Chain A
Amino acid sequence: MEFYDIVSEACDFDEAFVKRIGLSKVFRAGKDFPVVKDDGRKGQGNAVMAMGPAGDALLHRIKEGAPMIVITDLKAERKVLAFMKDHGSALCIPLSYLTIPYGIERSRSILKASRLYVAARKAGLEVFFASLAQDRAGMLSSMQMVELAKLIGADETYARFSMGNTGKAVSR
């Protein structure tokens, strides 16, 4: 099975490394596909990914039609999730948000991500897992991504299926 990952534009890696960690392709968000961040500016209508904390600004981004949403504060807001369902957007859970913090902050992030995953699946959303790493230290192998997805509540079959579909989702 082919697995994909999404990292930030600035993340540096080579293709041999991508192959070694068990991934078919790693997409650079902002380079391989357009991304809109919640910086108060009006977004581009063709953005594939929208990022921001759960709130009204993110609702605007969803309304603009981004098919993949990253909730950066990992808050499971029912209103946002229902709005995503209505607009056909999928949720992307950033796994580096769990691996980079340390100690109690990491435990809190795991709990939040777990609640977000459960609420999103209950709301009927498609959920993707990506590292969204800022640098090589934040990148994860396919095995690690599956285990982290399991840690926050996904079953192995769904985690593998979702990681295999990331490529299609960003090419929509």
Chain B
Amino acid sequence: MMREKQRYLLVEAMSSIEGDERAVNYALSKELSRVIGESHFHVPNPRVVKVLDRTHFILRASLEGTGEVITALAFIKRANSLPNAFYTLKSSGTIKTLNDLYASLK
């Protein structure tokens, strides 16, 4: 079986999003599917894989859809019906690199 190539994105939110990984993933997926389009969402297939703190998390996307997810994040100005904004800080092939970068931000 061919394994799909993935890319990880370190994302910062302007305002905090309450909840665990599942809650953050739901809030963001809802907005991302609206921007990317319901019929095309499966191509980048974005998913929150790790919540680092209330404003930082790691998002996983397919390699071919990474650019699309970065653009979509720039378009999202609300989450959980509250004003917010998302900034893509870095992309990497491994979660470890992004964890190290996040540690250096603090």
**Nearest A residue (CB) for B83:** A137
Knowing A20-B105, A99-B74, A106-B75, the reply to whether A140 touches B67 (Cβ < 8 A) is no
B85 in complex: contacting residue of A22, A95, A139, CB < 8 Å: A139
**Residue B87 at the chain A interface, CB threshold 8 Å:** yes
**Residue B51 at the chain A interface, CB threshold 8 Å:** no
In the complex, the answer to whether A143 meets B70 with C-beta atoms within 8 Å is yes
**Residue A136 at the chain B interface, CB threshold 8 Å:** yes
Knowing A20-B89, A137-B85, the reply to whether A148 touches B74 (Cβ < 8 A) is yes
**Residue B77 at the chain A interface, CB threshold 8 Å:** yes
B88 in complex: contacting residue of A95, A138, A143, CB < 8 Å: A143
Q: How far is the CA of A17 from the CA of B14 in the complex (A)?
A: 10
In the complex, the answer to whether B71 meets A147 with C-beta atoms within 8 Å is yes
- Taking the nearest CB of chain A, how far is it from the CB of B62, in angstroms? 15
Q: How far is the CA of A100 from the CA of B90 in the complex (A)?
A: 22
**Residue A123 at the chain B interface, CB threshold 8 Å:** no
In the complex, the answer to whether A137 meets B14 with C-beta atoms within 8 Å is yes
Q: How large is the interface on A (under 10, 10 to 19, 20 to 34, 35 or more residues)?
A: 20 to 34
**Nearest B residue (CB) for A156:** B67
**Residue A169 at the chain B interface, CB threshold 8 Å:** no
**Nearest A residue (CB) for B101:** A20
In the complex, the answer to whether A147 meets B87 with C-beta atoms within 8 Å is no
> Using a Cβ cutoff of 8 Å, how many contacts connect chains A and B?
50
A144 in complex: contacting residue of B14, B83, B88, B105, CB < 8 Å: B88
**Residue B98 at the chain A interface, CB threshold 8 Å:** no
User: Given the complex, which residues of B lie within 8 Å of A63, measured CB to CB?
Assistant: none
**Nearest A residue (CB) for B69:** A147
**Residue B91 at the chain A interface, CB threshold 8 Å:** yes
Q: How far is the CA of A49 from the CA of B88 in the complex (A)?
A: 28
- Taking the nearest CB of chain B, how far is it from the CB of A107, in angstroms? 11
Q: How far is the CA of A150 from the CA of B105 in the complex (A)?
A: 28
User: Given the complex, which residues of A lie within 8 Å of B105, measured CB to CB?
Assistant: 20
User: Given the complex, which residues of A lie within 8 Å of B14, measured CB to CB?
Assistant: 136-137
The 20 listed contacts between A and B (C-beta, < 8 Å) are A20-B87, A21-B87, A21-B89, A99-B74, A99-B75, A99-B77, A102-B77, A136-B14, A137-B77, A137-B83, A139-B87, A140-B74, A141-B87, A143-B89, A144-B70, A144-B71, A144-B88, A147-B74, A148-B71, A151-B71
Question: Closest 5 A-B residue pairs measured CB to CB?
Answer: A144-B74, A137-B85, A141-B87, A147-B70, A147-B71
